[in-house]
Amino acid sequence: MITHQLLRPESIVVVGASNNVHKPGGAILKNLISGGYRGELRAVNPKEQEVQGVPSFASAEEIPDTDLAILAIPAQLCPDVVETLASQKQTKAFIILSAGFGEETHEGALLEDRILEIVNKYGASLIGPNCIGLMNTWHHSVFSQPIPQLNPKGVDLISSSGATAVFILESAVTKGLQFNSVWSVGNAKQIGVEDVLAYMDENYDPEKDSNLKLLYIESIGDPDRLLFHAASLIKKGCKIAAIKAGSSESGSRAASSHTGAIASSDSAVEALFRKAGIVRCYSREELTTVGCVFTLPELRGKNFAIITHAGGPGVMLTDALSKGGLNVPRLSGAAAEELKSKLFPGASVGNPIDILATGTPEHLKLCIDYCEEEFENIDAMMAIFGTPGLVTMFDMYDVLDEKMRTCRKPIFPILPSINTAGAEVAAFLEKGHVNFADEVTLGTALSRIVNAPQPANNEIELFGVDVPRIRRIIDSVPEDGYISPHHVQSLLQAAGIPVVEEFVSSKKEDVLAFGRRCGFPVVAKVVGPVHKSDVGGVVLNIKGEEHLALEFDRMMQIPDATAIMVQPMLKGTELFIGAKYEQKFGHVVLCGLGGIFVEVLKDVSSGLAPLSYEEAYSMIHSLRAYKIIQGTRGQKGVNEDKFAEIIVRLSTLLRFATEIKEMDINPLLATETDVIAVDARIRIEK
C-alpha cells in the first residue's frame, strides 16, 4: 500500500538520527537537509537535543504527529517503534533502513512479520526493511550517494537491490540522466517492485508523472501484476526498460542464493517482457544508456544521419547501427550537393556527414538543418563531437542544445571528450541533456529499443476454439501424466488446430482399409511400446497395401504392441511448438523450426499464453531462421499465417486447460498452403 504520506510527507522523523554522517541515521538526515526538504524534520536520539540542527526527541513517544518515519535503529527495536508511531502519531509511512531481518535469521523474519501486521492494520506504507530508502523530487530519504539531479520528467528507477540501485546511479549521473524517483525496496516486505509499478499505473497522470521507468529485478514474485501494470503503463505512453538478473543457469543460481526466491526460467522472463513491451537490458551500462535514449523525442523511423568531425567513430557507429537492423542511408542528390558546397573542401556528406576536424559550429548547424528539413530519408541524427583540446566546445554544444530543443527529429549527442572537454560536457548536461560517451554502446542500446515489441492486447482469441469440449476432454482424462494419442488429437481438434488424420486399430483389415482411403504413402507406428523407434516400431513412406500388410504383421509381434497407428505421409518444412506451465507465470509457449533448429541451435522464441496474433507474428519474426519460413534461394516458404494461427489457438487452449503442464507439437509439417500437426505429446497434472 503506497500512501500519500510516503510520497509527499509534510513531516519526517528519523529514528536513530545521528550527527555522525558515516552512519545511515546521520547520512539520511544530511541528504534530507541538503536536498532542501520543505516539511518538518524531526529526529529521535535519546542523547541529543538537536541532531544536525534538527530538533531531537528522546523517544518516539515524545514527537508530535509525523507523516513519515525513517528507522535507522537495530532490528529488534523496530516493531515497538512502528507500533507507537502508527498507533499514536498518525504515521502513515515507514522506511526501515536497518538490516538483520528475514534476510539473516528466522528471528529477524518474525520481527518483519510483526511490523507488516502493524502497518497493514493502520493503513501505512512500508519500504524495506534492509534498504537504502526512497528519493523523489519531494524528499531525499536515502542514506546513500550519489544523489542524481531530480526532475519530475526524469526517470523512475525501481530496484530490488539497494547496492545495485546505487551503482546504477553511478553509471547514470556520468551520462547526465535525471531521475524523478529512486525506489530501493529492500526485503520488500509490504511493497515490492510490482507494487510500485501498480501504484504508478493506477495513479498515472500523463501531465504530471514521469513516463520513463527503469527496473532492476532479481526475482519476479508476481509476474501477472508486473505484466499487467507494465503493459498498461506502456499503453498509456510510458517506456520501460528492465534488467532481470539471473538470465544464465549459473546466474540464476546466484540470484536464488542472493534472494532466496525460486528462479524463473529465462524463457518465461523473455516471454513476459515481450508481452509487456519492456526493453530488456543485461547491464547497468545498457540500462542507463537506454534510459538516456528514453529521454529524447520518440523515433519515427530507422534511418539515421551521422554528423561528425571525426571519421572513425562515425564508421564504428554505422557498423553498430547496421548490425542492429538500423540504417545509415546514403545521402545524395541536389540537397546533398548544396550542403557539401557550404562545408570545407574535403568534407563529405554521403552519410556519415564529416565536416572535418576544422568544421565550425555553423557547419554543424547547417548539417542539422539539412537533416531536419531537406533529407526526407532521415528520421534522426547522431552528432559525434569531441575535441583534441585546442579549442573549447562551448559554441559547438550550444548549437546542439538549441537544435535539440527545436528540431522535430531526435538528435543524439555523442560527446566523447569527457575529460578534455569536461567543463563543456558538464555545462551541456546542466541544460538537462544526456550524453552518450561511447557511440557503439548507444548504437546497441538503440537497436534493443527499436526491436522491442509493442505490448500485447489482453484479449483471448476464442474464434474457432471449442472451450466446453476442451474442458470435457480434460475432465475425462483418467489420470495424470502423458495422455493418450486419442485425447491429444481431440484436444488439438477442439482448439481448431489441423491434425494429420490417423487411424488406430489392431485389426489388419481395418488398417488396410484406412490406407486405401487416405492414400499411400503412409506412416505406420506401433501403439504400446514407449520407445517406438528403438524397437523398429516406426516405418515411414509405406507405398502400398502389400507393404503395409507386411509391416502390420511384423509390428504386432513387437513386445507390448496393442495396435498399429497409420497416418498419411506428409511432406513439408518441420515446425515446432512447445509449451510448459511455469509457476506464477502460467504457460510459456515456445515456437521455432523443428529438428536441429530447436535442439542444436536453440533458435526458439517464447511468449506467454494467451497470445494475440501480433504476438505470434512477433515470435515468428524474431527467429534467426525466419528467412526459411519466408522462403529463400529457390526454397518455397511456408504459410506463416497458419503457423501464427496455430500458435494463437494453442495458447487459447492452454488458457482453458491449466492442467496441461507440458506439451509439444513436434513436428508440424508446413507447406505454402497448410500447416498440420503430425505428432504431439501432452502431459497433464490435475
Residues 76-135 that bind a copy of itself (CB under 8 A): 99, 103-105, 132
Q: Is the peptide bond before 352 cis (omega within 30 degrees of 0)?
A: yes
What are φ and ψ of residue 464, in 5° steps?
A: 80, 5
Using CB under 8 A, which of 76, 120, 457, 632 touches a copy of itself? 632
Using CB under 8 A, which of 90, 137, 151, 327 touches a copy of itself? 327
Q: How distant is the alpha carbon of residue 290 from its chain centre? A: 12
Nearer to a copy of itself, 314 or 586 (CB): 314
- Containing 681, the helix (H) or strand (E) segment is strand 680-684
> Hey, how many other C-beta atoms are within 10 angstroms of the C-beta on 196?
23
What are φ and ψ of residue 581, in 5° steps?
A: -90, 125
Q: How distant is the alpha carbon of residue 105 from its chain centre? A: 32
Place of cell 515411414: 540
Site string for a copy of itself, 392-431 (x = CB under 8 A): ------------------------xxxxx-----------
Nearer to a copy of itself, 344 or 458 (CB): 344
> What is the C-alpha to C-alpha distance for residues 66 and 9, in angstroms, rounded to an integer?
8
517-548 burial, b at 16+ Cβ within 10 Å, e below that, comes to ebeebbbbbbbbbeebeebebebeebeeeebb
Nearer to a copy of itself, 305 or 474 (CB): 305
Nearer to a copy of itself, 166 or 467 (CB): 166
Nearer to a copy of itself, 53 or 422 (CB): 422
Nearest of 35, 33, 40, 36 to residue 5 by alpha carbon: 40
- Residue 310 Cβ vs a copy of itself, minimum distance, rounded to whole Å: 3
Using CB under 8 A, which of 285, 379, 645, 659 touches a copy of itself? 285
Q: Does 624 bind a copy of itself (CB under 8 A)?
A: yes
> What is the C-alpha to C-alpha distance for residues 555 and 137, in angstroms, rounded to an integer?
76
> What is the C-alpha to C-alpha distance for residues 80 and 85, in angstroms, rounded to an integer?
9
Residue 156 and residue 212 in contact, taking contact as beta carbons nearer than 8 Å: yes
> What is the C-alpha to C-alpha distance for residues 626 and 222, in angstroms, rounded to an integer?
33
- Residue 204 Cβ vs a copy of itself, minimum distance, rounded to whole Å: 28
Using CB under 8 A, which of 77, 315, 335, 500 touches a copy of itself? 315
Residues 480-539 that bind a copy of itself (CB under 8 A): 533
Nearer to a copy of itself, 85 or 425 (CB): 425
Q: Does 265 bind a copy of itself (CB under 8 A)?
A: no
Nearest of 204, 244, 202, 199 to residue 223 by alpha carbon: 244
Vertex 175 angle, CA 172 and 179, to 5°? 45
Nearer to a copy of itself, 270 or 439 (CB): 439
- Residue 574 Cβ vs a copy of itself, minimum distance, rounded to whole Å: 12
At 213 the three-state DSSP class reads strand
- CA dist 655 to 50, 266, 645, Å? 61, 21, 15
Q: Does 145 bind a copy of itself (CB under 8 A)?
A: yes
Place of cell 536515502: 142
Residues 164-193 that bind a copy of itself (CB under 8 A): 164, 166-167, 170-171, 173-174
Using CB under 8 A, which of 46, 206, 345, 559 touches a copy of itself? 345
- Residue 423 Cβ vs a copy of itself, minimum distance, rounded to whole Å: 12
Residue 573 and residue 671 in contact, taking contact as beta carbons nearer than 8 Å: yes
Q: Does 322 bind a copy of itself (CB under 8 A)?
A: yes
- Residue 180 Cβ vs a copy of itself, minimum distance, rounded to whole Å: 20
**Cell numbers that stand for 280 in this block:** 530488456
Residue 351 and residue 331 in contact, taking contact as beta carbons nearer than 8 Å: yes
Using CB under 8 A, which of 243, 393, 638, 644 touches a copy of itself? 243
What are φ and ψ of residue 400, in 5° steps?
A: -60, -45
Please state whether beta strands 93-96 and 125-127 pair in parallel, antiparallel, or not at all (unpaired): parallel
Q: Does 258 bind a copy of itself (CB under 8 A)?
A: yes
Binding footprint of a copy of itself, residue count (CB under 8 A): 103
- Residue 675 Cβ vs a copy of itself, minimum distance, rounded to whole Å: 19
Q: Does 462 bind a copy of itself (CB under 8 A)?
A: no
- Residue 469 Cβ vs a copy of itself, minimum distance, rounded to whole Å: 35
Among the residue ranges 197-205, 447-455, 457-465, 626-634, the one whose residues contact a copy of itself (CB under 8 A): 626-634
**Cell numbers that stand for 185 in this block:** 525496496
At 78 the three-state DSSP class reads helix
Q: Does 360 bind a copy of itself (CB under 8 A)?
A: no
Q: Does 628 bind a copy of itself (CB under 8 A)?
A: yes
Using CB under 8 A, which of 129, 291, 352, 537 touches a copy of itself? 352
Nearest of 92, 67, 77, 107 to residue 16 by alpha carbon: 77
Nearer to a copy of itself, 275 or 309 (CB): 309
Q: Does 321 bind a copy of itself (CB under 8 A)?
A: yes
Site string for a copy of itself, 579-598 (x = CB under 8 A): -----------------x--
- Residue 308 Cβ vs a copy of itself, minimum distance, rounded to whole Å: 9
Q: Which residues face 568 on adjacent strands?
A: 522
Nearer to a copy of itself, 306 or 608 (CB): 306
Using CB under 8 A, which of 312, 464, 536, 544 touches a copy of itself? 312
Torsion over CA: 482, 483, 486, 492 (sign): negative
Q: Does 261 bind a copy of itself (CB under 8 A)?
A: no
Helix, strand, coil percent values for the chain (each to nearest 5): 40, 20, 40
Among the residue ranges 185-193, 432-440, 518-526, 664-672, the one whose residues contact a copy of itself (CB under 8 A): 432-440
Nearer to a copy of itself, 180 or 318 (CB): 318
Among the residue ranges 50-58, 202-210, 282-290, 562-570, the one whose residues contact a copy of itself (CB under 8 A): 282-290
- Residue 244 Cβ vs a copy of itself, minimum distance, rounded to whole Å: 10
Q: How distant is the alpha carbon of residue 606 from its chain centre? A: 13
Q: Does 575 bind a copy of itself (CB under 8 A)?
A: no
Nearer to a copy of itself, 91 or 387 (CB): 387
Q: Does 572 bind a copy of itself (CB under 8 A)?
A: no
Residue 566 and residue 522 in contact, taking contact as beta carbons nearer than 8 Å: yes
What are φ and ψ of residue 553, in 5° steps?
A: -60, -45
Place of cell 504508478: 200
> Hey, how many other C-beta atoms are within 10 angstroms of the C-beta on 187?
23
* Helix pair 467-476, 485-494: axis angle to 10 deg: 160
Q: Does 253 bind a copy of itself (CB under 8 A)?
A: yes
Site string for a copy of itself, 16-55 (x = CB under 8 A): ------xxx--x----------------------------
Nearer to a copy of itself, 148 or 586 (CB): 148
- DSSP assignment of 19-45 equals S-TTSHHHHHHHHHHHTT--SEEEEE-
- Residue 169 Cβ vs a copy of itself, minimum distance, rounded to whole Å: 8
